[in-house]
Structure formats: C-alpha cells, structure tokens
Amino acid sequence: MSLTDVIARVFVRPLWMAGPPKVEQWTCPTCGRTVSRTSPAVKTLWVTADAAERTALCARQHGFHHRDGSALPPEERQARVRLADLVVADEAERWVPVARYGDHPVSEGFVALLAPAGLAFVAVAGGPQEIGFEVHELTRLAASDLVGAPPAAPSGRLLGRLAAADLRFDDPTRPAALDVACLAPFAAPVGTTGSVR
C-alpha cells in the first residue's frame, strides 16, 4: 500500500461520501418547476445550489428553456402536402423522391418522401402472380427507420393497397422518384371513400 492510499483512506474518505448521497429538491428561478439535485458529498459542509445551477438543471431535466433561462424557439410547423392537390398537379410537380430500405430493392418496400413524414410502401402478395404494396401514411420518419429490411407493419395509418404494375417510377431499374398520380385512389376528399383495390 502506497503512502497516497494511506492518506486517502485516513483523511479523505471520512470527509467524502459518508453514507448515501442526499437528493435535494429545488425550484427553478426561471419557470418555477421542481428540480432534483444530488447534494455534494461533503460530510460536514452543506453547499446550496445557486440560481444558475438550478436553471441549468431544469433545462436538462425538463427541457422547457435553455441553460441560461432564455426561452426555446417555437417549433417550426412542417408543411403538409395534400395528396389530393398533388394528384391533379402538372406532371413535373407530381414526382416525389423515393428512399429504399438499406440495400433492399424497391420491390420489397420503399418510402415516398412526402411531407410531413412520408408514405411507406410495404410489399404484399396479392394473388398467384401479382405483387402489390400496402400504402401507409407515416406519423414519423427518422433516418434510422430506413436502415435494414422494410418493416412488416410501419407506424401510421393504412391507406390501402396498390398493384405493383400501377406504380410509375422515373427509372424502373433504379427508381429515385415516384409519380403520385398512381395514388389517386387515396386522394379522395375527407369524408368520402376512395376506390382502393
């Protein structure tokens, strides 16, 4: 045992961490929310949390303001593209980008990048020789969702099914864009039902 270990055991250990740490509750001076803080582990000395520390703790624990107490910027609203408007648009405006799932071919599934979160096309067998796609309106899409195999049931609302022959891509061998005119059955006005196969 070295001299440093002896000094640490005899002098430092009794001063630091005597017993379990005490969790204290404080009030944020910026917003008034309650924040928790583990008390510094000094046996005989009590250290209070100053206003800057409480504000920073509140920002980390609750996320309603910045560390300095300034307000967070309002969330930007995402544009929502109405499918009914796109279907009847000029041909040059009807094309939306397509993202594949990893290295999987488009025939296994893909996502049409349509605001706000996209449309997921999941391959399904429609008949003896026919392959089609279930079309889901996604509620959210992260880049990590496009890694790996296409999901069997993506998160979102099922719009219906389309036959693979009804899809029109810019390049059938390596598609990068989809003509949304093929989605006309799903573009019925709200309150009516579209004719979906």
The b/e string for 85-119 (b: 16+ C-beta within 10 A; e otherwise) is ebbeeeeeebbbebbbbeeeebebbbbbebeebbb
- pLDDT above 90 for 37: no
The fraction of the chain above a pLDDT of 70, given in percent, is 74
Which tokens belong to 120?
Answer: 């997921």
Which residues does residue 156 pair with via DSSP β-bridges, in sequence order?
138
pLDDT, tens only, 123-135? 887 655 567 888 8
Window from 40-49, 90-99, 174-183 with minimum mean pLDDT = 40-49
Is residue 70 over pLDDT 60?
A: yes
| Rounded distance between C-alpha atoms, residue 168 and residue 181, angstroms | 8
Tokens read off for 27: 């009030």
d(CA 24, CA 187): 56
pLDDT at position 11: 57
What's the chain's average pLDDT?
76
Segment 100-128 shows an average pLDDT of: 79
Contact between 122 and 150 (Cβ < 8 Å): yes
Residue ranges of the alpha helices (H) in the chain?
Answer: 3-7, 13-15, 51-62, 83-87
Please state the rounded mean pLDDT for residues 89-103: 82
Among 51-55, 64-68, 80-84, 158-162, which stretch is predicted with the lowest mean pLDDT? 80-84
pTM over 0.85: no
Strand order in the sheet with 156-163: 156-163, 131-138, 119-125, 109-112, 95-100, 177-179
Taking every pair of C-alpha atoms in the chain, what is the biggest distance, in angstroms?
84
Least confident of 26-35, 78-87, 120-129, 132-141: 78-87
